[in-house]
Structure 1
C-alpha cells in the first residue's frame, strides 16, 4: 500500500511548552490507526495539523488533498435539513450521492428531517455521512463517540469500522478509550511527551473479541504505556477501558 500520511520531526509549541516535539508518523492508504494519549498530550493538535486547521512550527507534514474531519460534536447546521447538511458546499447535482451516503449510515428516511429532531447517535451518523460523501483519502476522527451512551457508542464503532473497510480511506482516530482503539484499529499508537512511545499492530482477527488473549495482552501494554495500572479485563460488550 502507498503512504497517505507522512509526518517527520513534527514540532508544535504553545508558549514555552512543546506539545509535539519531533513526532514521526506514517499512515498507509486504507489503514486504520488509533491514537491514544492523556488529556493535553497533543492528540487533537496533531489531528488539527493533519486536517489543515493548525500549522506546524517545524517538521514535515505530507497529507492527501482530499481529507475530512468528524468531531466529537456533529456540528450540523440547524437551519438546514439532514440531506442539505450532508451535501453542504457540494454542487446541487450531488443530492444523489448525499442520499446514498445517508442510506449507508442507516438514515435513508431522514433526508428531510431537521437536526433538532435527531438523537445524538443519528446526528453523529449524519456527520459521518457528510465526511464520507466527499470520498476522502484521509478521514480524521476526533473522539467522535465520546458524547454517546455505551450501547450507541458500540453501534457507531461497528458502523465506522464497516464503512471504513468499504471506502478504504486512511483513518486516524483520536480517542481516550483503549478498548475502542483495540476494537477498531489496524495499529494503535500512544502519544506521550510530544512523541509516539508506542506503535503496535492489532493482530486479532475481526470481528474482535476484547476477551481474546491477544486483545487483553495488547490492552495491558497500552494501559501501561499510558501510565495506568491495568485492573481487570474487558470481557463484556459495555466495557470502555477509557482513561
Structure 2
C-alpha cells in the first residue's frame, strides 16, 4: 500500500470536516476524489501532504510525496528551470529531463509570468515529477484551464502516470474528469468515504461509453445531482 489512513479526523471549530475517515490508496493506482463543495477534499489532500498539523488519527504515507495545486505556485522571480529544482538538490539535467517530459524545454529560461495557463500547469507537473514521488497529489489542477487545454493536460497526466507509475490522488469537482482519468473514484460525504467505485474501462475513454454513462449517473446521484444537472 502506498498510503493508509485510519480514524483520521479534522474539525474547524464546531464543523467536522473529516470524521474518523479510513482509506487505503494502492501503489501505482490512479484515484479520483469527488465531493460537494466544502466536503473536505482539499483538507484530506493537505493531511496526506503533511500540511495540516491539526489532523488527528493515523496516517501511514510514503516519504516520497509531491503536490500540484490548482494554482501552479511558481516563484515569479526565478526562471522556469530554477522553479523546477526549488527546494531540492536535484541536478540541472534532471530538471531539464522533467521539463522535456512536459514539452517545456524551449521555455526553461522563461519567467513564470510569461507562461500561458497550460504551460504553467505543465511546469507544476514537472516540479512534482522531478521529486520522483511514490504518491502524487493533484488538487484540482485543471479547473482554471480552458476546455481544449484541459484535454491536452489530461492526456499528458495519463502519459506521465503510465511512465512513472506513482499512486495518484486527484481532487476534482468534475465527474467526467474523474471517469476519464481514474482507476477508482471515491466520494467524500459527511467526513467519510461514502462511495468507492472501480473503473475498468480501457483507455482512451469516451464520455459516450455506456459503462461510463451508467457510472456518471451513479456518481451524480451520490453527489445529490440529477443527470440533467438539477440538485
Q: Shorter-chain-normalised TM-score: which range?
A: over 0.9
Residue 54 of structure 1 corresponds to which residue in structure 2? 52
Q: CA deviation at 1:112?
A: 0.6
Separation in 1 of the partners of 2:87 and 2:34?
32
Give per-residue Cα distances to partners, 1:116-168, cap 9 Å, x unaligned: 11100001100100000010011000000011111101111111111011101
Q: CA deviation at 1:174?
A: 0.3
Residue 145 of structure 2 corresponds to which residue in structure 1? 148
User: Is the Cα–Cα contact under 8 Å of residues 47 and 55 in structure 2 kept in the other structure?
Assistant: no
User: Is the Cα–Cα contact under 8 Å of residues 67 and 137 in structure 1 kept in the other structure?
Assistant: yes
1:106 partner SS: coil
Residue 18 of structure 1 corresponds to which residue in structure 2? 16
Q: CA deviation at 1:15?
A: 0.6
User: Is the Cα–Cα contact under 8 Å of residues 10 and 56 in structure 1 kept in the other structure?
Assistant: no
2:52 partner SS: coil
Extract structure 1 runs of 4+ deviating beyond 6 A. none
Give per-residue Cα distances to partners, 1:171-214, cap 9 Å, x unaligned: 10000000000000010000010011110001111111111001
Separation in 2 of the partners of 1:56 and 1:5?
19
> More deviation in 48-57 or 214-223?
48-57
Residue 130 of structure 2 is aligned to residue 133 of structure 1: yes
Residue 108 of structure 1 corresponds to which residue in structure 2? 105
Q: CA deviation at 1:90?
A: 2.0
Q: Which of 211, 228, 231 pairs up with 1:231? A: 228
Residue 204 of structure 2 corresponds to which residue in structure 1? 207
Residue 43 of structure 2 corresponds to which residue in structure 1? 45
Separation in 2 of the partners of 1:130 and 1:203?
30
Structure 1: gaps (5+ residues): 233-242
Aligned length: 230
Residue 162 of structure 2 is aligned to residue 187 of structure 1: no
Give the alignment's TM-score, normalised by structure 2: 0.97
Q: CA deviation at 1:55?
A: 3.0
Q: Which of 114, 118, 124 pairs up with 1:117? A: 114
Structure 2: gaps (5+ residues): none
Residue 70 of structure 1 corresponds to which residue in structure 2? 68
2:21 partner SS: strand
Separation in 2 of the partners of 1:219 and 1:8?
28
Q: CA deviation at 1:58?
A: 3.1
Separation in 2 of the partners of 1:90 and 1:131?
11
User: Is the Cα–Cα contact under 8 Å of residues 33 and 187 in structure 1 kept in the other structure?
Assistant: yes
Separation in 2 of the partners of 1:183 and 1:56?
34
User: Is the Cα–Cα contact under 8 Å of residues 137 and 170 in structure 1 kept in the other structure?
Assistant: yes
Separation in 2 of the partners of 1:90 and 1:142?
22
Give the alignment's TM-score, normalised by structure 1: 0.92
